[in-house]
Amino acid sequence: MRLSLIRILLWSLCFICVSPAYAGQQVDIYRAQALVKSQAEAERNAAARATFGELMVRVSGQRNALDNPVVRAAMPKAQNYLFGFSYKSSSEKLIEGSRSFTALALQLDYEPQAIGQLLRDAQLPLWPAQRPTLLVWLVFKDSRGLHLVPEVVDFQAINSAAAYRGLPLMFPKHDVEDSMSIVADDLWAVNQEKILAASVRYNADAILVGRYMPSSMGSIPPAMVIDPLATADSAETALASSAVAVSPAASSASSAEGALGVAPAEPAQGPWQGEWLLLHGENQTRFTDETPEVKGLVNNVIDQVADYFANQYAIMPTNQGAQQIVLRVGNITSFAAFKEVQAYLEGLALVQRMEVVTVNAEGVVVRLTTEADTRLLTNTLALGRRLALAQPAVMGASQSEPSQGETLPEGIDAEAMADFERALASEQMPNNPAPADAPVTAAISDLQPSAAVINSGTLQDPLIYVWQK
């Protein structure tokens, strides 16, 4: 049982990285909303100026985007970056002096290419529209004890902050299935084993666990820590120590409230202190804060989480010019499958061009011309979950038999490969190998999956992926 606990935790950590079912979410990062009193051009232009700053923060992933002099200079002419707009009726009211107007909802659609050029001119990054989905577990403590279901205002605040940064959120259902997996005590102790197990059904790209309480009630207790690589005895010790993380009164209150939740207690007086844990693949990041209101806590943590993801996925302009990265993609057994891979890779914001280098029984070798380094490419492909990173031993046709539970990707038989090559030739697709010293970016941060992956990407040592059909 002790070993099973560790295996479950390891499996759950891996699941967040590789499950192909969710693959991030496309966000309308170039769209803004505003309330106006009429369809007059002056009103629309004023709304464009008012929403332009929000748009630049969301698209660049940079909180300080408005401090950039190029962005500030563009703001008075924000309407020039629009390619469309539309109006809808609204029940909202606008007050102007002593007069009240029924507002119109104005949708502003900005031109991606024009915004992209502005970002390059400003030397700001571009955080593409495919964003990681974030599952948020929240638990708070007041004089009644622990509460799994936060007050509605807390959800409104965190949703508003996430929309501003372009970060898609998911919340647990807190239904019977959740109640069988996790209770408030588990969240307050930050029991990662139970949190990860309860999160599997939501299949998000990352998990955020938030704990908060009035500062007047003391300090938030330390989280339970289980090292998945630790010994079974260490894991058992950590589980035992977690039993004192929540007071008996809090435990009984949370149990009485139940996973389905009852109306929470009246809001306690601030200031509030919060502690947050972000689980993203193998990375764990903690945030702490104290603010007068709960809204301040959630606004600040969403900013910090968005900053983290922007650092992972945003394309930063450099003076090095375009980079070339070589991939070998297995499990392509037909020309139709190849076209799917081609459409997927060419559709990535960071890929400028894809060229076919070789086709053989082990797969298709392609050279990507990109605006990013190897780290960013591997992060982006991991988020998309259509291409799974494989070890060289998995791809070779002459390798040893796979271990139990491991499936080798299919190769291409001679007849299929001949048809494949004829189809490629009919499209006059480039099939010339790149020079042996094709450049690959080497400026990699500490967020990369591994050194072996980072140093790959050349013709002699390509990144090896398996297409997930």
280 versus 256: which is more confidently predicted? 280
My answer on whether 149 and 104 are in the same domain is no
Q: Which two tokens stand for residue 430?
A: 């480039």
Coil, strand or helix: which one is 391?
coil
My answer on whether 68 and 170 are in the same domain is no
Between CA 137 and CA 8 the distance in angstroms is 20
pTM greater than 0.85 (yes/no): no
My answer on whether 14 and 81 are in the same domain is no
- Of 312, 332, 360, the domain-final residue: 312
Q: What are the tens digits of pLDDT across the range 110-159?
A: 999 999 999 999 999 999 999 999 999 999 998 889 988 666 667 788 99
My answer on whether 21 and 164 are in the same domain is yes
Q: Which domain holds residue 394?
A: 323-467
Give domain status of residue 151, yes or no: yes
Give domain status of residue 317, yes or no: no
Would you place residue 286 in the very low, low, confident or very high pLDDT band (cuts 50, 70, 90)? very high
**Residue 410, pLDDT above cutoff 80:** no
My answer on whether 63 and 180 are in the same domain is no
CA 376, distance to chain mean position in Å, is 13
Give domain status of residue 404, yes or no: yes
- Of 259, 279, 312, the domain-final residue: 312
| Beta carbons of 292 and 271 less than 8 angstroms apart | yes
My answer on whether 111 and 225 are in the same domain is no
Identity (one letter) of the amino acid at 287? Answer: F
CA-based radius of gyration for the chain = 25
Would you place residue 421 in the very low, low, confident or very high pLDDT band (cuts 50, 70, 90)? low
Give domain status of residue 343, yes or no: yes
Would you place residue 427 in the very low, low, confident or very high pLDDT band (cuts 50, 70, 90)? low
Burial grade of 255 (CB within 10 A; 0-12, 13-18, 19 or more): middle
Give domain status of residue 17, yes or no: yes
**Residue 213, pLDDT above cutoff 50:** yes
Q: What are the tens digits of pLDDT across the range 42-87?
A: 999 999 999 999 999 999 999 999 999 999 999 999 999 999 999 9
Mean pLDDT of 80-107: 90
Give domain status of residue 93, yes or no: yes
- The pLDDT value recorded for residue 246 is 37
Would you place residue 392 in the very low, low, confident or very high pLDDT band (cuts 50, 70, 90)? very low
Would you place residue 190 in the very low, low, confident or very high pLDDT band (cuts 50, 70, 90)? very high
443 versus 182: which is more confidently predicted? 182
Domain count of the fold of the chain: 3
Other C-beta atoms closer than 10 Å to the C-beta of 254 total 24
**Residue 255, pLDDT above cutoff 60:** no
Give domain status of residue 318, yes or no: no
My answer on whether 413 and 364 are in the same domain is yes
My answer on whether 218 and 268 are in the same domain is yes
Torsion 321-326-331-334 (CA) sign: positive
Between CA 310 and CA 304 the distance in angstroms is 10
- The pLDDT value recorded for residue 239 is 37
My answer on whether 167 and 307 are in the same domain is yes
Between CA 107 and CA 30 the distance in angstroms is 11
My answer on whether 118 and 140 are in the same domain is no
Mean pLDDT value across the chain: 77
Mean pLDDT of 232-257: 39
Beta strands in 66-191 (DSSP E): 82-96, 99-110, 130-131, 134-142, 145-147, 169-170
My answer on whether 222 and 139 are in the same domain is yes
Give domain status of residue 38, yes or no: yes
Mean pLDDT of 208-212: 95
**In the 8-state DSSP scheme, what is residue 140?**
E
My answer on whether 284 and 337 are in the same domain is no
Q: What are the tens digits of pLDDT across the range 157-182?
A: 899 999 999 999 999 988 899 989 99
Place of tokens 């982006």: 380
- Of 101, 122, 143, the domain-final residue: 122
- The pLDDT value recorded for residue 428 is 52
